[in-house]
Structure 1
Amino acid sequence: MKGFKNCVLLMMLGSGAVFGADGSGSVIEDIKLSILLRNAVFDRDFKNGVQDRREWGQAAIAKFTSGYTPGLIGVSADVFGMYAIRLDGGGGRTGSSSIDMFKQDSSGNPADDLARAGAAVNLKLSNTVIKYGDQMPDYPVLSYSNTRLLPETYTGVSVNSKEVQGLELNAAHFTAEVRKGAEGHDSAGLKQIDLLGGTYALADNLQATAYQSWDRGYFKKSYGAVFYTQPLDKSSSITFDLRGYHTSLNDDYAARLGRGDENTIWSLATTYKLGGHSLILAYQKSSGSVGYPYGGYQSLGRPGDGGSTFLLANSFFSDFNAEDESSWQLGYGYDFAAIGVPGLSYRFAYVMGDNIRTPTGDGDERELFNQVKYVVQSGSMKDLSFKVRNSIVRVSRNAAAYNVSANEVRVYLEYPINIF
């Protein structure tokens, strides 16, 4: 890991060219306090004899951010507090690690409620920020999950540098993780993950991203992406989105899984926009001796790098990431602001995957996805949002070890409140 540490040092020293800059803002004037009220329901109707799962809860997520102190090096603090209460999910309906709203105890009983808090300190020099403490990282190779009731959090140090216009660099080192449905770090058991990468705007409509991560004892992962948007006229455009991962598993981890040790997966999505309409066509391909290795929790035998670290086109209920799988997506979206209803949007996708390699032959899967979302635009309930999404997934029986057929409904009601 010597090369990684040297890269972090170079990023920190790179800000030295602007040592004459003063910290901006004020500790008091820039203080922010917000509370997100979130109500979430997950209902999964599994097929082929698999037990159904249903979880429902209410959460309050408070975040406090101070401004930076004046001077050459500005100092600020981030503090968060979270509380969630289970409204449903008893009677044997909890326990799905992929839902994971409320962790079960050793007897299989889900927690009635959860309480969690954390803090981090920030040091700012020019346009470089070093953060230490509890964080919610959002990188292509380590992305905290915020799609359940409470978000995942990680503990460690991160560096974000924007010293060069159009270039953003990131480096991080984390040694602990709190899973979505738990309160303590020991529930995840993350040993150590390091990452380095960044994004560069090559032009106003062209952007490239590259990242590398090292999950100690598990794997090394690389990510690359290119995004290009071409305006066609005032009301239409076409976007090309190419991104992919290459993962090399450590020998011991691959042996423990009883699988291969390498995976490459990529997707290319083309989106044509005309007014409020969006038409999406995407292709995704997985190759190598194993499917894309998810993160997940080390307490469940997984690497511990987050269950949502997968930013490819064909990712809905299924991620279409099995060994050797090929998948196509036909998608459509509509923004009702085009007809005078701002805040209302609709999304549809149909994805079909085949060539899933299994011990019993090639399998296939398909998913029909629908989502409706509305965000209140004004008044006392401004920013209140309501979202419903539904997935219908069918998987061939010889691919049952990879995925399972199910009908899923997710409902979210969120109300962000800015205190000051």
Structure 2
Amino acid sequence: MYKSSLALAVAMGVLAQQAGAAGFIEDSKLSLSSRTMYFDNNNRETHGATRPDQRETGQGFKLDYISGFTEGTVGFGVDAQALWGIHLDGGRGYHKTGFLPDASNGSSVNQWARLGANAKARFSKTEAHFGSALAPMLPILVSNDGRLLPQTFEGGTITSKEIDNLTINAGQLTHAMGRASSNRTGLSVNGAYRDSNKFRYGGLDYKLTPDLTLQYYYSNLEDFYKQHFLGATHVFKISDDQSFKTDLRYFDSSSDGRNGEGGGYNFNNNSGYAKHAGEVDNKTWSAMFTYSLGGHSLMLGHQQVSDDGAFVWLNQGSVRKDGATSSSEGAGGASFYLFTDSMINQFARAGENTTFGQYSYDFARLGVPGLKASVAYLRGTDVRYASGQGTYSEWERDARIDYVIQEGTLKGLGFSLRQGVYRGTNGATNEFTKDQDQTRFIVNYTYSFL
């Protein structure tokens, strides 16, 4: 049995003895979430693949129990989560790796499941969580929830709000549970098949004024990379129905430990150029400006990735079950804190300059609450070939429409239709890009028992 699981079991046993304490039960929440997803990925250029199209449908269930805290100077609680995924349609030849776990015959497994739980404690305005169902949403780590089941992490986190207008976050994570996996893996980066069991981070969110928030975070994935983040968000309220938002982000990432020395600790720079092969060496900045008027919202921005190497983030997609000889664990699929993390592509390779925009409209202004639509366009240029000789460009257009029923028996039932088009124009070599058209249809519903 894993040490962390044993410690968590002991903690839950202690909590069970105090379950009658006021707050633990009264503040508890129990909910069941259902997600049905149809996923259609059309590879316009197959590059030798047997089928250009990949189509699958799956059903996911997520049961969440969140307790309150026991009474006393230090309050204790527990959170538990059960996840179950079911393959509904899309057989061998149509299977999209990473959407559902892989079966040995080239299709998907029929079903998969996993359990997770966190013990937690609260002292004053500080909370600590320890377990295997952590889902951080921070500038240096974003838990991915883009498929049937969410990505979760194992480790410990602390959040403190003891000082007015200041939030302090810190933690250490040891493993990840992929969105299409029943198992846990170590932590890694794109293209590396070795892993690490130490991702440490710390950061501050300071609300300098009611309209201005400043951020600084530091993270370190042992033997892979170190990363600094600076951020500033400001909202200028023009009137009750009009505002202008500025969002500035800067990342500085560098190599750590065995990164770049070979042996599976290399970063493949998102299949792009690297000044020093296998090493993390990157600076990325982005600026986004959003003007909102009534139900309308128009966002424009620009992002620049440095020439020396690509942007880096946690991604377990290449980690193998038993070192360098076995197949991938299938825990891929990760997010990062930049707008260019879009539906199909990331626009995060070495040298890439991306200009992007998005228009959104909330139809509540027309008397249809719960209905929203948006369209986004991104164009990246000056992307460096892996060889370092020459550059290419790429673009993506994403559109989506979402509707959530607002009242009645089916209140909270949500529908989302998303469509993305990606194209790369890199000359005759087609070194990196694969033109794709992608469609997703998602139905979400959450029922709260408590």
TM-score normalised by length of structure 1: 0.88
Superposed, 1:177-196 pairs within 5 Å as 177-186=176-185, 190-196=196-202
SS of the aligned residue for 2:175 comes to strand
User: Given residue 66 of structure 2, which amino acid in structure 1 is its aligned partner?
Assistant: T
Q: Deviations over 1:9-68 (max 9, x none)?
A: xxxxxxxxxxxxxxx961111111001100112211112224432232101100001111
Determine if contact 1:141/1:309 at 8 Å carries over to the other structure. no
Alpha-carbon distance in structure 1 between the residues aligned to 2:309 and 2:239: 44
Does residue 368 in structure 1 map to residue 368 in structure 2?
Answer: no
RMSD: 2.2
Does residue 378 in structure 1 map to residue 376 in structure 2?
Answer: no
Identify the residue that residue 391 of structure 1 maps to in structure 2.
Answer: 420
Alpha-carbon shift at residue 254 of structure 1 (Å): 3.1
Identify the residue that residue 41 of structure 1 maps to in structure 2.
Answer: 38
Alpha-carbon shift at residue 340 of structure 1 (Å): 1.1
Determine if contact 2:224/2:280 at 8 Å carries over to the other structure. no
Alpha-carbon distance in structure 2 between the residues aligned to 1:187 and 1:382: 40
SS of the aligned residue for 2:260 comes to helix
Q: Deviations over 1:129-186 (max 9, x none)?
A: 1111111222221221111111111111111111112111111111111111111114
Alpha-carbon shift at residue 108 of structure 1 (Å): 3.5
Does residue 263 in structure 1 map to residue 282 in structure 2?
Answer: yes
Does residue 245 in structure 1 map to residue 272 in structure 2?
Answer: no
Identify the residue that residue 11 of structure 2 maps to in structure 1.
Answer: none
Identify the residue that residue 343 of structure 1 maps to in structure 2.
Answer: 370
In structure 2, the CA distance between the partners of 1:198 and 1:402, relative to structure 1 (3 Å rule), is farther
Determine if contact 1:95/1:103 at 8 Å carries over to the other structure. no
Superposed, 1:397-412 pairs within 5 Å as 397-398=426-427, 400-412=430-442
Does residue 222 in structure 1 map to residue 212 in structure 2?
Answer: no
2:294 aligned to 267, 275, 290, which one? 275
SS of the aligned residue for 1:409 comes to strand
Identify the residue that residue 117 of structure 1 maps to in structure 2.
Answer: 115
User: Given residue 83 of structure 1, which amino acid in structure 2 is its aligned partner?
Assistant: W
Alpha-carbon distance in structure 2 between the residues aligned to 1:236 and 1:369: 25
Q: Deviations over 1:77-135 (max 9, x none)?
A: 00010111011232222243xxx132214554421101111111101110111111111
User: Given residue 156 of structure 1, which amino acid in structure 2 is its aligned partner?
Assistant: G
Alpha-carbon distance in structure 2 between the residues aligned to 1:41 and 1:220: 37
Does residue 328 in structure 1 map to residue 355 in structure 2?
Answer: yes
User: Given residue 314 of structure 1, which amino acid in structure 2 is its aligned partner?
Assistant: T
Q: Deviations over 1:286-323 (max 9, x none)?
A: 00411112422151699x99843421223312221111
SS of the aligned residue for 1:337 comes to helix
Identify the residue that residue 334 of structure 2 maps to in structure 1.
Answer: 308
Unpaired stretches in structure 1, ≥5 consecutive residues: 1-23
SS of the aligned residue for 1:270 comes to strand
Alpha-carbon distance in structure 1 between the residues aligned to 2:45 and 2:106: 23
Determine if contact 2:29/2:449 at 8 Å carries over to the other structure. yes
Unpaired stretches in structure 2, ≥5 consecutive residues: 1-20, 188-194, 269-276
Count, aligned residues: 393
Does residue 58 in structure 1 map to residue 59 in structure 2?
Answer: yes
Alpha-carbon distance in structure 2 between the residues aligned to 1:156 and 1:67: 21
Determine if contact 1:215/1:305 at 8 Å carries over to the other structure. no
Superposed, 1:287-306 pairs within 5 Å as 287-297=306-316, 299=319
Identify the residue that residue 447 of structure 2 maps to in structure 1.
Answer: 417
Alpha-carbon shift at residue 400 of structure 1 (Å): 4.3
Identify the residue that residue 190 of structure 2 maps to in structure 1.
Answer: none
Determine if contact 2:259/2:278 at 8 Å carries over to the other structure. no
Q: Deviations over 1:339-365 (max 9, x none)?
A: 111111111111111000002521100
- With 212-221 and 24-33 compared, the bigger mean Cα shift is at 24-33
